[in-house]
Structure 1
Amino acid sequence: MKTVCKAIIEDLEKIVNIDSEVIGNTSRRDYIENAIKLGHCIIAKEEEYIVGFLIYDTNFFECSFISLIIVSPSKRRKGYASLLMDYMMSTSPTTKVFSSTNRSNINMQKVFNTNGFIQSGIVENLDEGDPEVIYFKSK
Structure 2
Amino acid sequence: MEHFEEICSIDQDVIGDFSRSETIRTAVQEKRCLIQQSEQGIAGFLIFTNDFFDNNFISLIIVKPSERRKGVATALLAFYVEMADTRKIFSSTNQSNTSMHKVFEAAGFVKSGYIENLDDDDPEIIYVKMK
TM score, norm. by length of structure 2: 0.97
**TM-superposition CA deviations, 1:56-79 (whole Å, max 9, x none):** 101110111101000001110000
Aligned: 1:111 with 2:106: no
> How far 1:38 moved relative to its partner?
1.0
Cα distance in 1, alignment partners of residues 116 and 25 from structure 2 = 29
Question: Where do 4+ consecutive residues of structure 1 move more than 4 Å?
Answer: none
Gaps of 5+ in 2: none
1:1-139 equivalences in 2 (<5 Å): 9-47=1-39, 49-139=41-131
Cα distance in 1, alignment partners of residues 61 and 2 from structure 2 = 19
Cα distance in 2, alignment partners of residues 78 and 90 from structure 1 = 20
Aligned residue pairs total: 131
> How far 1:51 moved relative to its partner?
1.0
Cα distance in 1, alignment partners of residues 25 and 7 from structure 2 = 9
TM score, norm. by length of structure 1: 0.91
Report the 3-state secondary structure (helix = DSSP H, G, I; strand = E; otherwise coil) of the residue aligned with 1:10: coil
Gaps of 5+ in 1: 1-8
Cα distance in 2, alignment partners of residues 10 and 119 from structure 1 = 36
Name the Cα RMSD after superposition: 0.9
Cα distance in 2, alignment partners of residues 98 and 79 from structure 1 = 20
Cα distance in 2, alignment partners of residues 14 and 65 from structure 1 = 23
